Structure 1
């Protein structure tokens, strides 16, 4: 039985750490979690801490980042002397991946309208820092960026600058091995701080700052807890542990619930093997998935939301039809059966939706494991200084935890009605694509009849790298990058190319699954081929 307030306290404990992947604080947290698991009675020999190199290493389409350790930082406006922020006051105020300033610096304050040398200026901007890095740092020679930028704005839940004027967004500078050589650094500002500094920009005023940090090559840690009876089926439970402090919902909530599932699994006799994994998102799951296979992986990401405070809805993201959907149906049934009820009705928002990208489930699906994803979205406080424990609801931990446990208990022999329900949805999809280009290949792949050996691809394609497509390709597609569904479409095309190996079948599958015009799908696939993310065998 999941004890929701114990999970809540573990979430609070995890959120107190500044969990930059590979950092000393991340390693310290992993060490303390291992101690906690042993105290719960879990045998030390069933706990592994696996390490993978990072910095100057590429995993699939993901260029690994440097290990970032941040000790302290401050930012002031000079003359008039006004305190802006510090690392001690707010852990998200330093742009993630910032280089050290090597002591105090005084820099002239300018904005994007300034014409001239930027090398000894602090540039005030309001745009995505990754894009700004390419323009102001790599092209124009700037070192320091002062940024206000709120991603995923949503007026319906109050996630707009005007309603969150004192919130600091968690923002990053590119900090791969090559990017770190530019020596860039900077701060993330509140909306009010941005407006204040805007009044002083380009008028000869200076800002004074220091950042005490280190960027270095190192290793990333993946914590694995094994519950093995040497059965024929192995299931993974995954949550990403990395995130700046506080990061309560994202993703201390998923990590805390995964740990308390360990506590329950230690006392259960299951007919499946289970691995519980806490890891750095993408950068840990990708090298791990290359070496480890699962029949199913359940991804827990942002599961703890207090829906009244965050505006969130619990979502079950389904596995694409190219992989078995039995576990999706079983997990959905379990979530419905365990859902909290008051006054004879459900009292939480909950939907199931088609595949969406953006978390570790995409990694495991690229390695053949159906991976239903449980998370909450949208979230007013996502990637901000206000993603704090008070925004979590203990009841969510009990609901989702009990549903996952029920799914594990039944997954050794999927109930007949679950199989029939899943199969009926597959048949309906196949009817929808019938007589479309590549339909035979799609049918052979989905029905798993001799895999796809009986149907040969006509226009053979395949991904050029292992694992997910990632995000680099978005820089190469122009206006298409603004389309709401473009990241999901890219990943579906990557998965389609991996399992169908056929151009027409991939277009037919993606367009019908995501309900997007075939011409637009083909255009995106052509761009992926043109930019060498997918190979086309002519």
Structure 2
């Protein structure tokens, strides 16, 4: 595994503005097919699957429209001052912006303005989804100028004051229904926002245009298949979508997955391997619904960070023990084996954690496929214009690539000591749950997931998910004050998995609260919210 070659591929991918289903995304898929063939991958090993998008729902996700963006500019009208353009910064246009159909001159106002907003540019500092609801849906605004930085973290220099000239990658809702409002807008730097804040509500105007289109269409999933001597298969998944540059998120995972193909072309394999590049969630859900016959799937998402520049740590997010975790243990063992070292100690940061949501591993786990996640977090440049290839480290690609390759090679015959370690962790967890309500059901499901031949136990208060696939994010709007708690995202997804596999109310509370180390009252409150709003259902 040559980390420098992987980095070169990151540079190539990061040139493309990879909105789901867009012309550039489709062009990139074709270029990657050509690249694979040039490496000696046979054309019949490469397949492209297409799934509809726009006006269709996958599980708990309303699919977005296909969005193509060609050009855009934003100016202060007088005194004439250039602010930003799509050509100078690809993240400057809010993802999903409708076209303006030519230049528009709009009066600049901010969140405090109480008059008609239909012919105004509204300056906000808030989550664009909330701004869309508050100003577009409720007050008929068309143009939003937004500053919003997710996941602020002063310890790694990720705050507005520490990154005043960074443009965040943020989006307007652009489902079929949302797109009917005709909204558009720009993502501002913090410095631009502060400059315009001083001019808002004083008669100043901005001049802008956006040349884009929103339409229904399809999303492409690229799969490269390597057959093995046995019928069982492993998946390697990485999401290919995101704006340009989007180097670590997630050109890094996609590039490493491609170079795994380069390594696998000559290797004799026992388990077959599918390498799958797709749009995050919106491609993973329909794909996994049709292709869930994997022993396990490794999700590569943000694997290449230069830790000194980004403040990141390599993470292994485990599969919850509701599914088989032996392969997680093999991957963990392989990561430790190849960890870069200096003076008899690791020279890179690495941490193993319980399940965390937020990417395609949660999709496959909802389709009964164990799916360990490899990525890095936090990241100073996450979802910004500064997520460029110079923030990647070839050593990280070599480390992760070697660990994944060893896992693929040994999956058909996992070493005995690795199996013992996995069962030791399982037994430790079951001891924590022992004596709690539903503990017998938890132990039964966990043991059966790991191969023990025992009869399933019947749920006492039977609950189940209302849809296939992961829980998603829509439920936050129903969560009230609970939505402000940091652990709620992961708790919701674990509850969804518990309802799918444990199928018992008390067992779900005991498993989720113990596994994530969250109090039982909060866990019960979230379950009750999900039941009340039909994300979960009681089964007679």
Residues 215-241 of structure 1: per-residue CA shift (max 9 Å, x gap): 000000000000013513210000000
Compare 424-433 and 305-314 and name the one that shifted more: 424-433
Deviation for aligned residue 1:436: 1.2
Give the conservation status (yes or no) of the 8 Å contact 2:10–2:252. yes
- 1:350 match: 350
* Partner secondary structure for residue 413 of structure 2: coil
**Matches of 1:177 and 1:372, distance apart in 2:** 33
Deviation for aligned residue 1:520: 1.2
**Matches of 1:478 and 1:176, distance apart in 2:** 24
- 1:503 match: 505
- 2:474 match: 472
**Matches of 1:450 and 1:428, distance apart in 2:** 17
Give the conservation status (yes or no) of the 8 Å contact 2:445–2:456. no
**Matches of 2:422 and 2:232, distance apart in 1:** 19
Q: 2:515 aligns with which of 513, 516, 531?
A: 513
**Matches of 1:337 and 1:423, distance apart in 2:** 20
**Matches of 1:516 and 1:387, distance apart in 2:** 33
**Matches of 2:228 and 2:392, distance apart in 1:** 34
Kindly indicate whether residue 89 of structure 2 is the aligned counterpart of residue 87 of structure 1: no
Residues 290, 451 of structure 1: CA spacing in aligned structure 2 closer, same or farther, 3 A cutoff?
Answer: farther
**Matches of 2:87 and 2:329, distance apart in 1:** 46
Kindly indicate whether residue 210 of structure 2 is the aligned counterpart of residue 211 of structure 1: yes
**Matches of 2:113 and 2:290, distance apart in 1:** 50
- 1:525 match: 527
- 1:278 match: 277
**Matches of 2:417 and 2:366, distance apart in 1:** 28
Compare 422-431 and 168-177 and name the one that shifted more: 422-431
Deviation for aligned residue 1:451: 7.4
- 1:30 match: 29
Give the conservation status (yes or no) of the 8 Å contact 1:365–1:371. yes
Give the conservation status (yes or no) of the 8 Å contact 1:444–1:451. no
**Matches of 1:517 and 1:395, distance apart in 2:** 40
Give the conservation status (yes or no) of the 8 Å contact 1:441–1:452. no
Kindly indicate whether residue 289 of structure 2 is the aligned counterpart of residue 307 of structure 1: no
Kindly indicate whether residue 271 of structure 2 is the aligned counterpart of residue 269 of structure 1: no
Residues 22-57 of structure 1: per-residue CA shift (max 9 Å, x gap): 000000000000001011111110100100000001
**Matches of 1:535 and 1:119, distance apart in 2:** 41
- 1:177 match: 176
Residues 34-88 of structure 1: per-residue CA shift (max 9 Å, x gap): 0010111111101001000000010000100000000000000011111000001
**Matches of 1:58 and 1:314, distance apart in 2:** 33
**Matches of 1:452 and 1:21, distance apart in 2:** 44
* Partner secondary structure for residue 107 of structure 1: strand
Give the conservation status (yes or no) of the 8 Å contact 1:101–1:211. yes
Residues 281-306 of structure 1: per-residue CA shift (max 9 Å, x gap): 00000000001121100000000000
Residues 146-196 of structure 1: per-residue CA shift (max 9 Å, x gap): 000101000000000001000000000000000000000000000000011
Residues 257-292 of structure 1: per-residue CA shift (max 9 Å, x gap): 000000000010011110000000000000000011
**Matches of 1:296 and 1:410, distance apart in 2:** 13
- 2:409 match: 409
* Partner secondary structure for residue 411 of structure 1: helix
Deviation for aligned residue 1:418: 1.0
- 1:289 match: 288
Residues 436-481 of structure 1: per-residue CA shift (max 9 Å, x gap): 1111111111110777853110100000000000000001111111
TM-score by length of 1: 0.99
Give the conservation status (yes or no) of the 8 Å contact 2:73–2:84. yes
- 1:439 match: 439
Summarize the alignment of residues 160-171 of structure 1 with structure 2, pairs less than 5 Å apart: 160-171=159-170
Q: Kindly report the root-mean-square deviation, in angstroms, between the aligned alpha carbons of the 2 structures.
A: 0.9
**Matches of 2:408 and 2:150, distance apart in 1:** 36
Deviation for aligned residue 1:344: 2.4
Q: Any unmatched runs of 5+ in structure 2?
A: none
Summarize the alignment of residues 112-511 of structure 1 with structure 2, pairs less than 5 Å apart: 112-229=111-228, 231-293=230-292, 294-448=294-448, 453-511=455-513
* Partner secondary structure for residue 521 of structure 1: helix
Deviation for aligned residue 1:346: 1.2
**Matches of 1:295 and 1:409, distance apart in 2:** 13
Give the conservation status (yes or no) of the 8 Å contact 2:229–2:269. no
Deviation for aligned residue 1:419: 1.0
**Matches of 1:227 and 1:537, distance apart in 2:** 42
Residues 319-353 of structure 1: per-residue CA shift (max 9 Å, x gap): 10111111111001101111111222210000101
Give the conservation status (yes or no) of the 8 Å contact 1:445–1:452. no
Residues 391-429 of structure 1: per-residue CA shift (max 9 Å, x gap): 000110000000000011100111111111111111111
**Matches of 1:432 and 1:347, distance apart in 2:** 34
Residues 198-255 of structure 1: per-residue CA shift (max 9 Å, x gap): 1110001100000000000000000000001351321000000001000000000000
TM-score by length of 2: 0.98
**Matches of 1:289 and 1:26, distance apart in 2:** 20
**Matches of 1:75 and 1:431, distance apart in 2:** 60
Residues 346-371 of structure 1: per-residue CA shift (max 9 Å, x gap): 10000101100000000000011111
